[in-house]
Chains A and B, each alone.
Chain A
Amino acid sequence: MASEYTYDDEGETWPFFVLAVLSFILIPLTISWGLRIYRQDNPLSINKDIKGAILENETTLELENTIEINKFQKKQKSSAKYFNKTFFAIVIGWALCLYIAKYQTVETQLIGAFDPYTILDISAFSSEKEVKSRYRKLSLKFHPDKLPKDLTDAAKEEMEANFIQINLAYKALTDEVTRNNFLRYGHPDGPQEIKHGIAIPKIFVEGKYSSLMIVVYFLLIGGVLPFIVGSWWNNVKTHTKRGLHIDTAALFARKLADKSPTKVITPYELLDWVCQSQEIVSMTSHLPLNPQIVVKHLISRHLFRDFELTQDETKYEREKLAIVAQLPKLIDGLIEIASIFRFTDVVLAASDLRKCVVQGVPPIGKYQEILQLPYVDPKVVSQQEVKKLGKLFTLNKEEQKKALGISDDAKLETALSIAKSIPMIRVLDAAFVVPGENNEAEGGLPSGSVPPSAQAHISIKFLIKSPYHKSCPEIDDEDLKDEETIEYMRDPVTTTNESQPLLPYTYAPYFPSNFRNNWFGYLISQRDNKLVEGSSVATLENVSLANLALTKEQFIKGEGLTISTFKIALTTPTPGAEGNYTFRLVLKNNGYFGCDVDIPITMTVEQPKVPAGKILTKKVRKIMEIQGDADEEDDDTDYSGSDISDPEEDSLAGALAALRGGSVKSSAKGEEEEEEDDEGDNESIFTDINTDTEDES
């Protein structure tokens, strides 16, 4: 009896089972739906809360492609914002839950759960005396003999049942045997019947539905489950960790592995690679003729903001947006792979390409900074001299109109207000820092120096400025120091970076989807012009743009100025040998032209001073420096420092000398000697040439 399987005839458990399953599905679904609504909220409304953000988009600007972009975004948001399929699924699901909970669940008697204290309504810590008095009181009330005569039969029965319960409870607390039973089985009567119910109503198992049930069961176990697991696994297998299709990743890796030094890496060349990616190919396989050519044509129309359509092209307008929307993700993937190969040229060209795609600006020529503004006439812009936003603000209104090719006053105003809000960076200081080491007054290293084999980071102090702001305010050196709190000492990089507000969404009216603005930081070795080994791409996403709201005068005077900090963690410790190590730090914005940073930065590795015996220390340091230099020469055969400092050579050589009519021959002489030093490493650069253009005849 105790281990008999029964089907759930009375609906005791199956509604609970169904409820549990439903809630398993419904709760995550509801949360994700809610989050999506929250996230999909108009970026403009988020930007409104961020100081200095640009509050324009394709709709407010009334651009040529607004309708198409809105359509595309709506489709992306899958049929309106709130009332999509998920919404209906959630509503129906919860309605079902309610219905089951309300009408299908039978109030079950909790047979197993017997609690004498509750029945007697006394505290679990009551003494035997208290139990007895309580029992007496209750039995007086419920005793069958003491019941009022006018009660109905049903009420009578209930009272009697209560009386039995009270008796049992009393015995459980006082009688030895019953008490043991209660302790062992949870019930004063001894072991209770245990029901193993299957949470399926009986009608489904017996009778005409039984075959259906088996089919459902088979489909579930044999079909749906393997399908879900399989497609999940397949997705894991076919996409890299960063969501790039593995074929695309393989394509990029192959292109980079066999990159020919004879070929110039331009944004257009990289666009070519990206167009061959699996994502684009599978998206466009239905296009007529040669899809690759159509794709390139469509992208080029986007880059040149070409909206004069032939009838054929109108059909592909939506495709164009879908392709364009994919590009930044693919380019980011390419950048990531290229940064592992440490190819500076690819990384920088790809960053520029990304901006071109986002702003709808051609990747050739030098006018991108102006062309990223709305309403400008590219033909007019490329025929005049002004290339930079900063220059634009030195002109008067008429000149501005002429430079931009905008004749409408209101439009000019809008374009300029956007130009004003593009966040430029003026670097105040950039140095390698090891927290707690750069306190010269207390015998630490001078600022800019780091001890060997230490965990350093790069600290960049900068001002966010509008192109409209000129010059640079006086900044006190003290303002450039970090306060070395305990939190800062523990994790200087995240503590500092995350103490600043998040950057707003990028103004990119020609681009169909929305993304947050940020800067990507790359550290490049000056020695070989490659990204530093083992360094990862740093992201600057927290900066206050409050400075953009300052007037020109306020900016110069430094009134209400915010100094921002960006810290880049280094993955490897500083070198063990003392000396100077030169790098180039490049920050590339992911959406705007004109706000990149490209500065040289030197790491001076130095032993911290030993406090005792100053003269001796100096000597020691000098010796150590010499040794350090010697070590370096051993390591790097490509360039030895010894011959550059020779003044004769550099004063004779050089293009400028030539321009002034200086002797070339003597310059060449100097070089001849140098080249001998360069031997050995000259070869490496030429091992990887592939595309052959050699003329043999």
Chain B
Amino acid sequence: MNVPLAYDAKTKQLSLPKEAERVVPLVKLEVDQLNTLVQELIANGSDVPPPPTPENFNKDMSKMIKKLYEGGVQAFKQGKYEESAKQFNIGVAMIARRTKFESFQGTLQELGLFLMSRADAYLKTKNYLGAFNDADMLIGMMMVTPDNFLRRGVANYLLGNYEDARADYQRGLSFDPDNQRLTTELEIVLDKILEENGDYL
């Protein structure tokens, strides 16, 4: 790494020359991540970052996030889906701004909650790609619940990916063979696939 780095003692930040930022975006990213961590460490006060426990999970932040969540749910109930999606969006952004050495489990739980709700709001506002993305991330986070497969399946269905939707429902059913909703949705998509093929049984 042959890049001239500058250190500012006042802000305790590192910086790259402007022209280098474009040439080595990965280094720029590293520097940025380091700077964020430095800020977080300084803000934290203690000389070394504390081990992550539920106790030192930022309670103020949790409160704010919870408020956003409740707001989103309220809006959803009133049928203001755009508003609701926006609230969830802000919430997700806020979660991402938590200090990095806070408990991962806590963050994950919060995020899971928001993503599920946001996916539902997105489905309502016809942002199917967004809904798919959220459900996809939930499944990627190993939250392999039948509901998340239902979400991704429905998003896939509405995106016209019938085969993918079918696979999602079937995978969901493999975790809960008696899931009524998945079964009905599966039937719908199977009919749709037959229809697309100009076939019948």
Contact = CB atoms under 8 A, between A and B. Distances in A.
A118 interface: no
Contact of A696 (B36, B109, B200): B36
A388 B177 CA distance: 30
B147 A654 contact: yes
B198 A470 contact: yes
A529 interface: yes
B140 A685 contact: yes
Interface stretch (B4-12, B45-53, B55-63, B72-80): B72-80
A602 B36 contact: no
A394 B198 contact: yes
Nearest to A470: B199
A622 to B, nearest CB: 19
Contacts of A526: 170-171, 174-175
B189 interface: no
B99 interface: no
B198 A685 contact: no
Interface of B: 26, 29, 32-33, 35-36, 73, 76-77, 79, 104-105, 108-109, 112-113, 116-117, 119-121, 123-124, 131, 135, 140-147, 150-151, 154-155, 160-161, 163, 166-167, 170-171, 173-181, 185, 196-201
Nearest to B111: A675
A368 to B, nearest CB: 12
Nearest to A582: B174
Given A672-B113, A696-B36, A644 B175 contact: yes
B198 A390 contact: yes
Contact of B145 (A387, A580, A644, A663): A644
A665 B116 CA distance: 10
B124 to A, nearest CB: 6
Contact of B143 (A388, A584, A651, A671): A671
Contact of B196 (A391, A599, A664): A391
B140 to A, nearest CB: 6
B14 to A, nearest CB: 12
Interface stretch (A149-157, A323-331, A374-382, A676-684): A676-684
A599 B109 CA distance: 32
A664 B120 contact: yes
Contacts of B185: 656
A645 interface: yes
A668 B160 contact: no
Given A644-B176, A664-B76, A584 B170 contact: yes
Contacts of B150: 654-656
Contacts, number: 164
Smallest CB-CB A-B distances: 10 pairs: A390-B197, A582-B174, A658-B120, A394-B198, A391-B198, A696-B32, A526-B174, A644-B176, A600-B170, A653-B147
A652 to B, nearest CB: 9
Interface of A: 261, 366, 387-394, 467, 470-472, 526-527, 529, 580, 582, 584, 598-600, 602, 638-639, 641, 644-645, 649-651, 653-659, 661, 663-665, 667-668, 670-672, 674-676, 678-679, 681-686, 692, 694, 696-697
Contacts of B173: 600
A470 B200 contact: yes
Contact of A685 (B131, B142, B177, B199): B142
Nearest to A526: B174
A448 B87 CA distance: 49
A661 B76 CA distance: 8
A696 B119 CA distance: 25
A664 B73 contact: yes
A671 B112 contact: yes
Contacts of B163: 598
Nearest to B171: A526
Given A584-B174, A658-B121, 13 more contacts: A526-B175, A600-B173, A639-B144, A644-B145, A650-B146, A659-B123, A661-B79, A671-B112, A671-B116, A676-B109, A685-B140, A696-B32, A697-B32
A4 to B, nearest CB: 77
Given A390-B198, A679-B105, A658 B26 contact: no
Contact of B131 (A388, A598, A639, A655): A655
B162 to A, nearest CB: 10
A35 B108 CA distance: 63
A638 B144 contact: yes
Nearest to B104: A683
12 contacts: A389-B197, A390-B196, A526-B170, A580-B177, A584-B171, A600-B174, A650-B147, A650-B181, A651-B180, A656-B154, A675-B143, A692-B33
B123 A388 contact: no
A674 B26 contact: no
A657 B147 CA distance: 10
Given A526-B174, A658-B120, A390 B199 contact: yes
Contacts of A394: 198
A659 B119 CA distance: 11
A319 to B, nearest CB: 33
B127 to A, nearest CB: 13
Nearest to B29: A692
B175 A639 contact: yes
A13 to B, nearest CB: 72
Contacts of B160: 366
Contacts of A661: 79
A671 B148 CA distance: 10
A602 B175 CA distance: 11
